[in-house]
Amino acid sequence: MTEATKKKHVARELNDFYHLPDPGEQIVQVLRGCGNNLHEVRTCNGEQYLVSMPTKFRRSVWIKRGDYLIVTPIEEGNKVRAEIHSILLKDHIRYLKQQNKW
């Protein structure tokens, strides 16, 4: 698959697929980008830690301060404690509020 095709599929997945968080997943807010595809996030409890961006999002999606993410915890990390599962856009947030998951 070419690079453009990959970007197209990732963008389509982000825009069209509304993902409800599973019981093990969390909704977090991005505080800052730390480099090397790591981002510092804050949970609703005020806890701060690093999350990693999976390969499929690299070079095709930009994450900014204030964006919301759904993350999946990983066991082996001390500093990096989760991996990004989904990026929430305004429509996704609106859908989560309608489903009482926000």
Q: What is the pLDDT of residues 21-79, one digit of tens each?
A: 889 999 999 999 999 999 999 999 999 999 999 888 888 888 999 999 999 999 887 88
Look at the chain and report how many structural domains it folds into.
Answer: 1
What's the CATH code of the domain at 79? 2.40.50.140
Structural domain of 34: 3-98
Q: pLDDT tens, 31-43?
A: 999 999 999 999 9
Strand partners, 33: 39
